[in-house]
A = this chain, B = another copy of it.
Amino acid sequence: MPKRVDHEERRARIAEALWRIACARGLDGASLRDVAAEAGISLGQLQHYFASKDEMLVFALEHISDLAARRVGERLGALGGEPSPRDVLLGSVREMLPLDDRSRTGHLVQIAYFVRAVHDERLRGHAKEGVPGLRAFFAGQVREGQLRGEVAGDRDPEAEAALLIALVDGLASYAVLDVWTAEEALGLVSGHLDRLFGVR
């Protein structure tokens, strides 16, 4: 089905044009026309894929999540053997921090989405669906750590998972504002995981 592949490539190209704009000057004033121009296609072609800026934003966010999940998988695969729950968590949060241009841009797209979602219930639905998935995944890793005797049994996996998501998100936001560097943020969250996993 070569046609379908073309469509996915086109969508990905549009999402990447959106990211470049997010990175260079923010998405506040960016129109569908601006994104089409950046992607090198006509407005009509873009509207074939996305009827509104919000639809495009949600797709760009999902595309970012997919790419990040793939990078996490590759990184963990490169570790070889069965990665420990702590490695899985640290590998995941690394992808959520703006350690390179790509993840920094991802964070900027997320903020652009966030600002719109606050005043748009339909967009908020996306966050309400996405976060519980990540939270369940993180909670599963904490539970696995408990089974291995690495995490104290009285820790609540669901609470720890929510704390970790919020913590990484806050660290990432302040890193984007240059309050601290992404490397300092990684050091802070790594220390938090050390404590959760009883390393110190």
Contact = CB atoms under 8 A, between A and B. Distances in A.
Q: Which applies to chain A's interface (DSSP): helix, strand, loop or mixed? A: helix
B128 A200 contact: no
B124 A115 contact: no
Nearest to A26: B119
A173 B114 contact: yes
Contact of A174 (B119, B131, B192): B131
Interface in A105-123: 108, 111-112, 114-119
Contact of A167 (B117, B132, B159, B166): B166
Contacts of A111: 111, 114-115, 118
Interface residues of A, number: 42
A180 interface: yes
Contact of A154 (B25, B174, B184, B200): B200
Given A28-B28, A112-B115, A154-B200, A188 B173 contact: no
A66 B182 CA distance: 29
Contacts of A18: none
Given A28-B28, A114-B173, A115-B28, A124 B166 contact: no
B118 A108 contact: yes
A171 interface: yes
Contacts of A167: 163, 166-167, 170
A178 interface: yes
Given A25-B119, A118-B111, A169-B170, A163 B192 contact: yes
Contacts of A163: 167, 188, 191-192
Q: Which 5 residue pairs across A and B have the least CB separation, nearest first?
A: A166-B170, A170-B170, A169-B170, A166-B171, A127-B177
Interface of A: 25-26, 28, 108, 111-112, 114-119, 124, 127-128, 131-132, 154, 156, 159, 162-163, 165-171, 173-174, 176-180, 184-185, 188, 191-192, 200
